[in-house]
Amino acid sequence: MAAELGKQAAIWMPAGTMANILALRKHCGMNARVVLQDQSHIYQDEGDALSRLYS
């Protein structure tokens, strides 16, 4: 997939929720909480589940 997209690397995630967790963790580092706008997909569909990151 990376070659198809012209990228150095790619990763396949089995679920969008897992991909969101990894993306938030990458952006937030080791902080336990993130701020989400109330119209975001994560806030609307996941409630507090993803705004409270796993440690």
Range of the domain at 55: 14-55
pLDDT in tens, 8-50: 999 888 888 788 778 888 888 777 777 777 777 777 666 656 5
Q: Classify residue 52: in a domain, yes or no.
A: yes
Q: Classify residue 37: in a domain, yes or no.
A: yes
Give this prediction's pTM: 0.55
Q: Classify residue 33: in a domain, yes or no.
A: yes
With tokens 């589940």, the residue in question is 49
Q: Classify residue 5: in a domain, yes or no.
A: no
Q: Classify residue 6: in a domain, yes or no.
A: no
Q: Classify residue 1: in a domain, yes or no.
A: no
| pLDDT value of position 30 | 76
| pLDDT value of position 2 | 92
Residue 7 pLDDT level (bands cut at 50, 70, 90): very high
Report the domain count for the chain.
Answer: 1
